[in-house]
Structure 1
């Protein structure tokens, strides 16, 4: 029998949290799931995809750059994930 305090199942990598970059793509991870992603779309800006707490709370927008899109995603997702906070 394996000790219960150290067993993590088959997962070998830690669960991502916060902004994680893979190539040119950025993903915002919260509570073990991806809530937003920023990808280049071939034009002068970037494409931003965001998901709130419910599946129907999905939004796709364009932004001028990665920095602007990350700020927008953090605010948009926070409002949907924490509706009771001011």
Structure 2
């Protein structure tokens, strides 16, 4: 995803952890996380809408407060 290799240098104030062969092992420390963060949250508007709707549905299933009408209506495509 972020195109790391054995020769990828550590960024300033960060570290890309590597295994005994020198290949990245998936652990990123401090500012090294910035190298992938832009890829992690690269969702389309529709994907974001679906994720948020699923979150609200799950939260409502746990009890407590109902979804505010202006938010739920916006997610469902209603203009109210």
Is this a same-fold pair by TM over 0.5? no
TM-score by length of 1: 0.22
- Structure whose alpha-carbon radius of gyration is higher: 2
TM-score by length of 2: 0.24
